[in-house]
């Protein structure tokens, strides 16, 4: 009877008001993506674990895995991006670039704190087959437009790749140590700019020790008003599709909607 009144750690239902708010935000994001000519794909909640082996130590550690009735090792979805590559790679042809978006829950077995969810709703998008700097910039612009749905003064920080000469995006030197050197951060939309010390930076700002995983070029993080954790993150991953049988550059981002 003890389980009758509680849920597993990090899982909970959304009741009427929360569900209505999520669906409203989801609809606004999807409208922006469709207006930008992105088409939706739907991915499975579970997949075999073996195809994703070696794609990032951190990702594999946070996946729920189990052996099914057929004796196959199966993983519950914890990261959309590799699943998109596995789904699309076999069917890629000359009709590139391809613009796709996805949405759904991911389940992660991160160490939970009070109030920390393990079940997360995500919406993301990517451009497949375009290696250009223009594609990187397009995704930064799109992520910034989506962030404005959630925040009055979103902050977009990027690192790696080529310098992006656009006042709305802030270059981050991920080789700087935490010794007290300031890093230049500005606010989106010309609201203002400033010099923030590392101790004042948004949580989750990259460090030189951060694992890059499957990323090969520019990376970026999008913060809301509170700067406590990224609303979204993304970047370029030009070698990920090759792991699934087809060479194709790609750049994308994923928003986590709480």
Verify cis geometry, omega within 30 degrees of 0, for the bond prior to 97.
yes
* Per-residue pLDDT at 186 exceeds 80: no
pTM confidence score? 0.83
CA distance 57 to 199: 27
Residue from 187, 160, 164 nearest 174 by CA? 160
> Across residues 25-49, what is the average pLDDT?
97
CA distance 23 to 106: 17
Domain architecture of the chain: domains with CATH? 28-257 (3.30.930.10)
> Tokens 């160490």, residue?
111
Give the pLDDT band (50/70/90) at residue 207.
low
Residue from 160, 121, 167, 173 nearest 141 by CA? 167
pLDDT for 174:
47
CA distance 86 to 160: 25
User: Would you give the distance in Å from CA 135 to the centre of its chain?
Assistant: 17
* Per-residue pLDDT at 209 exceeds 60: no
pLDDT for 185:
37
Query: Token pair for residue 103?
Result: 């949405």
To the nearest 10°, report the CA torsion of 26, 32, 34, 38.
-100
* Per-residue pLDDT at 216 exceeds 90: yes
In tens, the pLDDT along 232-248 reads 999 999 999 999 999 99
> Across residues 25-39, what is the average pLDDT?
97
């Amino acid at each position: 009877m003890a389980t009758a009144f509680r849920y597993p750690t990090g899982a909970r239902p959304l009741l009427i008001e929360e569900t209505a708010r999520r669906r409203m935000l989801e609809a606004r994001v999807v409208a922006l993506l469709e207006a930008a000519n992105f088409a939706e794909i739907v991915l499975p909640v579970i997949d075999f674990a073996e195809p994703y082996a070696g794609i990032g130590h951190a990702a594999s550690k946070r996946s729920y895995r189990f052996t099914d009735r057929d004796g196959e090792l199966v993983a519950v979805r914890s990261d959309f991006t590799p699943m998109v590559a596995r789904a699309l790679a076999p069917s890629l042809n000359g009709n590139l670039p391809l613009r796709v978006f996805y949405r759904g829950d991911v389940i992660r077995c991160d160490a939970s704190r009070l109030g920390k969810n393990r079940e997360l709703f995500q919406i993301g998008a990517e451009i497949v087959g375009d290696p250009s700097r223009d594609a990187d910039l397009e995704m930064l612009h799109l992520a910034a437009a989506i962030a404005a749905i959630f925040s009055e003064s979103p902050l977009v920080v990027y690192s790696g790749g080529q310098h992006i000469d656009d006042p709305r995006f802030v270059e981050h030197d991920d080789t700087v140590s935490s010794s007290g050197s300031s890093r230049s951060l500005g606010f989106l939309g010309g609201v203002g700019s400033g010099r923030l010390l590392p101790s004042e930076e948004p949580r989750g700002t990259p460090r030189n020790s951060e694992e890059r995983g499957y990323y090969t070029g520019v990376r970026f993080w999008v913060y809301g008003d509170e700067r406590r954790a990224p609303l979204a993150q993304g970047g370029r991953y030009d070698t990920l599709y090759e792991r699934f049988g087809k060479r194709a550059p790609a750049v994308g981002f994923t928003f986590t909607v709480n």
